[in-house]
Amino acid sequence: MNELQKILKSFDILGVPYFSDYTTIKTSFRKKIKELHPDIIKAKDDEEAKKLISSYKFLQSLYNNKDLLEHYRNQFLETQNLKTQKRFISLPSLKSITALIKKHYKLIIKIIALTAIITISTIIFDSLINITLFIMVVVGGYFAFTRL
């Protein structure tokens, strides 16, 4: 097990998000040790409490060395970015979406207008034939005077 995996396992044992602030780790440790401490629960098997204490001490020493902590945090973030890149398709940027809208704004307006016509016709007319005729007249008249 490499060092980063050991660090992540320690966070898991304490039940805190990876690379949380130290006060969160400390609070979680105190809460869990109250539940697991062999003097409190009168249990013969204190293996979980030992794991909790060793994980806390390990993270405590890591948080005392800020440079090392930052190194492992960056290493963790790099591995997360690689996983994310493999798992998800990148979304287009807002700039590219804006460029597409500017390029095709006339078509977008026509689609919105046709949608509005269909919606209005369903509200005004009660039969399917009347709706179809109304849409044909409006769309036909529109295309008679403009190009798509």
Tens digits of residue pLDDT in 98-136: 888 888 888 888 888 878 877 787 777 777 777 777 777
State the average pLDDT over residues 51-78.
88
**pLDDT, mean over the chain:** 79
Which residue from 145, 109, 138, 144 is spatially nearest to 121, judged by alpha carbons? 138
Contact 17, 59 (CB under 8 A): no
pTM for the whole structure: 0.52
CATH hierarchy code of domain 3-87: 1.10.287
The residue type of 134 is: F
Helices and strands: H and E segment counts in the chain: 8, 0
Tokens of 106: 């006339």
CA dihedral 65, 68, 70, 74 (to 10 degrees): -160
pLDDT at 57: 92
- What is the percent of the chain with per-residue pLDDT over 90, rounded to a whole number? 5
Cβ–Cβ under 8 Å, residues 28 and 46: no
How crowded is residue 39: how many other Cβ atoms within 10 Å of its Cβ?
8
- What is the model's pLDDT at position 83? 56
What is the share, in percent, of the chain residues with pLDDT greater than 70?
82
